Amino acid sequence: MPRKKPYTQIGIRRIPCARCGKPSRYQWQICALDNLHHGVCAQCDVELNAAVLQFFKVPDWRNKLLAYKEKAREQQL
């Protein structure tokens, strides 16, 4: 369930991913959704980051995404 205040590290794991329903690991907010905080699982977070990097035409976005995937994987261990 989205909310105005950010979730705690423990709280975010208790809600499903807004996209796929898996347990959330991260959260995000966007103006178009009233700046509410939404939970996002690790896999959807990586996909969301890929879309944003491409949208902003970030140079070398593929390598940046690979580095982010590795960082996210390490945090899950």
Mean pLDDT by groups of 10 residues along the chain of 77 residues: 93 96 95 96 95 97 94 75
Site of tokens 């329903």: 21
pLDDT reported for residue 14:
95
pLDDT reported for residue 77:
52
Q: What pTM did the predictor assign?
A: 0.86
Q: Which residues contact 44 (CB under 8 A, 6 or more apart)?
A: 17, 18, 19, 20, 22
Domain boundaries, the chain: 9-76
Give the Cα separation of 24 and 32 in Å (integer).
Answer: 21
pLDDT reported for residue 46:
94
Q: Which residues contact 22 (CB under 8 A, 6 or more apart)?
A: 16, 41, 43, 44
Give the Cα separation of 5 and 76 in Å (integer).
Answer: 24
